[in-house]
Structure 1
Amino acid sequence: MTLSRGALPTILALNLILGFGCGMNGRPSPPSRNVILISDFDDASVGAEAAKAMEKQMGVVDDPQLQTYIETIGKRMLPFAPARSFDYSFHIIDQSAPNAFALPGGYIYISRGLLTLVNSEDELACVIGHEITHAAERHSAGRQQFDMRMNPLSIGFMRMGQLAAYGRDQESDADRGGQILAAKAGWDPAGMATFMQDIGAMGRLTTGWSRLPGFFDSHPSSPQRAAASTNRAENLKWTPRANIAADHRDFLTKVEGLALGADPKEGIFEGSRFLHRDLNFSLLFPDGWQLINNHDAVGAIAPGGKAIIALQLAGPGDDPQAMARIFVESELRAERGRVRGEQSLLIGSLPAYRIHITTPAIKGFITFFAYNDLIYRIETISTSGPIGSYEGRGRAVTRSFRPLTESEKALFKVTRLQIVKGRSGESLGALSARTANELDLATTAVLNDLFINSRVEEGQWVKIGRAKLYIPEDS
């Protein structure tokens, strides 16, 4: 969760980010607005809406040189893709899991986690070509319509997820299209097969990183797909062109420095306790609940998915009651909601104001409180009837808010991708010990397309992770 000072989130936006909402409790879903993607214009319109929500809620990586590199690869393939009236754009999403997806209208996203995993420009080109194919072939439109439920718990990011998910036939088509585009643009189409092997190996690892939805959550995997990519590469005719990166070291240099795993500026979990270093607070969620941390909210979903407790930033200020009034007159009114009760209180020594609300879709209460010139809000929300069975937990989470201890501040470290030279015959274990590699051997092997028992050659470039104490930018 990266909370910018002055941000004003939309009503219950955090709940949609956490994937919590319609149809989870077996009750009828609210009326939907079906959007039928008939034309390129429809693709561009729906994609633009989903892109804004997704980028706000997940964040993008601020690396202009790497961004330019991704764009250059993508644009080199566009002349060989089916002509469309929309413009393509390429973005690096701030997600630790290896992932890539396309929204309607040519919005192509590659996660930083995927960029740390690919081992050649050929692999990266095939992945980008795969996503260009999804957009160019209008695979979203091939599903005919999308259920755009307007429940406040399921707009924005969930909608984006629906638009970026495809069936196996479409995935196979995109595999084929991605390899063809890469080959026509002068890259080795075998990069698709080697990438699939790496992403499959990474998916089998337990690394301790945040298990966000990754590539194979929206891209169904099978041994048949990997084999098909290998066979297709062997039969595709292509003429090599110079890579955009000058050589393999230059390629690795472009991704060097990317964060590995969770970015500490988003906050971290220690058990069920959430810690945020930049904003200097801690919050304890119920044991056994599903913990989620996204770009502008952090929360926990109850077993069964019928309730959520989550925190987000309401905006700058020191008057919780005034912020509650703004919420009631704007966001709550827009959702046809009502206030059932309200009261002033203290959270420890912090001034707070609590309102109990209902809308056609939810029941619950929201506690606004002031801390360090910012107003936060903690929401305890149910979609399955009265909030009573969750009220105690919601109050306990709210009472748990406090500043970090010095020992908690010391827990914050950032691990970044570094490139080192191997020595002749050196094992990964010996290389890791010599270079202070923070990653386990299995992860190091996968990141470098090696086996755990591999021995490196003299001068071979190897990706490792190096950790250092995380210090907030304004410290």
Structure 2
Amino acid sequence: MKSRILFLSGSLAAALLFNSCATNPVTGKKEVMLVSEGQELAMGQQSDPAVTAQFGLYPDQKLQNFINEKGKQMGAISHRPELAYNFRIVDSPVINAFAVPGGYVYFTRGIMAHFNNEAQFAGVLGHEIGHVTARHSAKQQTNAIIGQVGLVGAMIASPKLAQFGDQAMQGMQLLFLKFGRDDESQSDELGVQYSSKIGYDAAQMADFFQTLQREQEASGADPIPDFLSTHPNPADRYNRVHQLADQWKASNGNPTNLKINRDQYLRMIDGIVYGEDPKQGFVENNVFYHPELKFRFPVPAGWKHQNTPQQFQMADPGGKALQMLMLAPGNSLEEAAQALAKQFSLQPTDSKKTTINNFPALAFVADQVQQDQQTGQQVAGVRALTYLIQDGKTIFALIGVSAPTDFDGFAPQFTSVAQGFQRLTDSEKLNRQPERVRIKKLTLRSNLETALRRYNVPEKRLNEMAILNGMQLNDQVDAGSLIKVVEK
């Protein structure tokens, strides 16, 4: 009987795969594809609001117009010109570019700050559009379905606690898919092809990969997914992209008018925010400050943290506990408690009203009940200690979660963080300004290091600025050249 069932299941799977082939727009070959084009478009439409809510859009209309213009131009000559492409610059310091199915392409302000000419931008744009035209995300989703493996979004705590992370993460799972080498190589080829077709020198994309490699090596740690973590970078990638660019030129008559547009690009990004933007909140000396909302609270020593426009997350380095701050819905503490309990499927076991540094507050312990896969019984999956803190019409929720077995050990720390919530009055913190990329025109020929020192770049940041400029400190720069520095 078991053999017959397995045979029938295998036959069903074979029939499913046989009937689920689609032609890849780029290769023209038939591929197993369990995600239809209509589903692919729907996935993009559903993911886009979550992505923009997670990061926020960077408020610079000239940059948004630029990516729209180049993106539409490139989409029109791609293998899927019929798609309604959408392009966004999101407000994140992380150096990243990514695409989701259906033609949604995102560049962070962090990666925009690190490009040093339009051709570098165009090469990466072509690479991302290539992921869309070759249906790589749809193929990854198909592989997940076949292998019965769920997609996992970026988290800073354990998978068991992920449900208390960003609720937008469910829609963002496609963001951090790690494409295989074949997909990456194909997208590199398409990046060369597409950027060259709209008139740019694709060899510049290879140079930018080198900048990214230097940036990763300099940072040491990689706490947040970045371009290199989501885009595998084989050792020969730099040389290969240069070869692809040379081959394209040779097969197209060796054009001499391919654009780089360095100065135009640098002038366009003059003033772009660099690194973390303090107005969105920042951590300093184990304290989280939020100048716009005017509050502060402690961050447990050694805990990892991640800040987004929607929420601030802190995680025990062992992945056993997560505490996050978010805005809670409702006009009263009681309404907020009910809304959160419903949102997270919580069953409160204890609650009390209190006051925290003159703010009305409500604290409650609750379990998120799950069904045991083996016994079928209802068990507490995680336990949460939530502090709701009211500031006028705004209600903040500080939610600390862990497994029930670890809860007693972490509850005092959750409480300590909540009780440290207080009004921010320090004028220096309230008025903290972000750093911005500033473009300087050199008056004298020198090496880059000498030029940077003339603009008072401190010793400890010389290498950082060299990477930002895509140069080495001993590279010669002529009078009249433009370079980047970072200033408040």
Select which of 351, 354, 366 maps to 2:363: 354
Query: Would the aligned equivalents of 1:126 and 1:191 in 2 still touch at CA under 8 Å?
Result: yes
Query: Would the aligned equivalents of 2:46 and 2:171 in 1 still touch at CA under 8 Å?
Result: no
Cα deviations across residues 291-316 of structure 1 (Å, max 9, x unaligned)? 22122111211122121011112257
Tell me whether 1:223 sits opposite 2:220 in the alignment: no
Give how far 1:263 is off.
0.9
Tell me whether 1:272 sits opposite 2:286 in the alignment: yes
Query: Which residue number in structure 2 is paired with residue 3 of structure 1?
Result: none
Query: Which residue number in structure 1 is paired with residue 333 of structure 2?
Result: 320
Select which of 203, 217, 224 maps to 1:204: 217
2:409 maps to amino acid: S
Query: Which residue number in structure 2 is paired with residue 183 of structure 1?
Result: 196
Cα deviations across residues 274-294 of structure 1 (Å, max 9, x unaligned)? 111111111112112112212
Tell me whether 1:263 sits opposite 2:283 in the alignment: no
| CA distance in structure 1 between the partners assigned to 2:404 and 2:243 by the alignment | 51
| CA distance in structure 2 between the partners assigned to 1:190 and 1:451 by the alignment | 18
Give how far 1:348 is off.
2.3
Cα deviations across residues 178-197 of structure 1 (Å, max 9, x unaligned)? 11111122211212211111
Give how far 1:384 is off.
5.8
Query: Would the aligned equivalents of 2:321 and 2:401 in 1 still touch at CA under 8 Å?
Result: yes
1:289 maps to amino acid: W
2:397 maps to amino acid: R
Give how far 1:455 is off.
3.5
Q: Which one has the largest radius of gyration?
A: 2
Distance 1:283 1:67, change over 3 A: same
Tell me whether 1:341 sits opposite 2:341 in the alignment: no
Q: Map 1:295-334 to 2 at 5 A.
A: 295-315=309-329, 317=331, 319-328=332-341, 330-332=342-344
Tell me whether 1:402 sits opposite 2:399 in the alignment: no
Could you list the runs of 5+ residues in structure 1 that have no partner in the other structure?
1-35, 468-475
| CA distance in structure 2 between the partners assigned to 1:326 and 1:229 by the alignment | 52
Query: Which residue number in structure 2 is paired with residue 471 of structure 1?
Result: none
| CA distance in structure 2 between the partners assigned to 1:260 and 1:142 by the alignment | 35
Query: Would the aligned equivalents of 2:291 and 2:431 in 1 still touch at CA under 8 Å?
Result: no
Query: Which residue number in structure 2 is paired with residue 112 of structure 1?
Result: 109
2:68 maps to amino acid: E
Query: Which residue number in structure 2 is paired with residue 374 of structure 1?
Result: 394
| CA distance in structure 1 between the partners assigned to 2:151 and 2:193 by the alignment | 34
Query: Would the aligned equivalents of 2:127 and 2:187 in 1 still touch at CA under 8 Å?
Result: yes
DSSP 3-state at the match of 1:236: helix
2:234 maps to amino acid: S
Give how far 1:464 is off.
1.0
Name whichever structure is richer in helix by fraction: 2
Query: Which residue number in structure 2 is paired with residue 8 of structure 1?
Result: none
DSSP 3-state at the match of 2:51: helix
Cα deviations across residues 111-162 of structure 1 (Å, max 9, x unaligned)? 1111111111111111000000101111012121362689734653265244
Query: Which residue number in structure 2 is paired with residue 102 of structure 1?
Result: 99
1:167 maps to amino acid: G
Name which of structure 1's ranges 454-463 and 382-391 shifts more when overlaid on structure 2.
Answer: 382-391
| CA distance in structure 2 between the partners assigned to 1:289 and 1:282 by the alignment | 17
DSSP 3-state at the match of 1:223: coil
Query: Would the aligned equivalents of 1:417 and 1:466 in 2 still touch at CA under 8 Å?
Result: yes
Name which of structure 1's ranges 150-159 and 118-127 shifts more when overlaid on structure 2.
Answer: 150-159
DSSP 3-state at the match of 1:288: coil
Give how far 1:454 is off.
2.7
| CA distance in structure 1 between the partners assigned to 2:58 and 2:452 by the alignment | 27
Query: Would the aligned equivalents of 1:415 and 1:465 in 2 still touch at CA under 8 Å?
Result: yes
Query: Would the aligned equivalents of 2:320 and 2:406 in 1 still touch at CA under 8 Å?
Result: no
Query: Which residue number in structure 2 is paired with residue 435 of structure 1?
Result: 455
Name which of structure 1's ranges 426-435 and 341-350 shifts more when overlaid on structure 2.
Answer: 426-435
Query: Which residue number in structure 2 is paired with residue 253 of structure 1?
Result: 267
Q: Map 1:236-247 to 2 at 5 A.
A: 236-237=248-249, 238=252, 239=255, 247=261
Distance 1:402 1:450, change over 3 A: same
DSSP 3-state at the match of 1:142: helix
| CA distance in structure 1 between the partners assigned to 2:242 and 2:41 by the alignment | 33
DSSP 3-state at the match of 1:440: helix
Query: Which residue number in structure 1 is paired with residue 410 of structure 2?
Result: 390
Tell me whether 1:140 sits opposite 2:137 in the alignment: yes
Give how far 1:75 is off.
1.6
DSSP 3-state at the match of 2:58: coil
DSSP 3-state at the match of 1:205: helix
Higher relative contact order (CA 8 A, sep 6+): 1
Query: Which residue number in structure 2 is paired with residue 75 of structure 1?
Result: 72
Identity of aligned residues (%): 27
| CA distance in structure 2 between the partners assigned to 1:453 and 1:204 by the alignment | 19
**What is the TM-score of this pair, normalised by structure 1?**
0.83
Name which of structure 1's ranges 425-434 and 176-185 shifts more when overlaid on structure 2.
Answer: 425-434
Give how far 1:211 is off.
5.2
Tell me whether 1:54 sits opposite 2:39 in the alignment: no
| CA distance in structure 1 between the partners assigned to 2:480 and 2:175 by the alignment | 44
Distance 1:52 1:167, change over 3 A: same
Select which of 163, 168, 179 maps to 1:152: 163
**What is the TM-score of this pair, normalised by structure 2?**
0.81
Select which of 225, 229, 235 maps to 1:213: 225
DSSP 3-state at the match of 1:127: helix
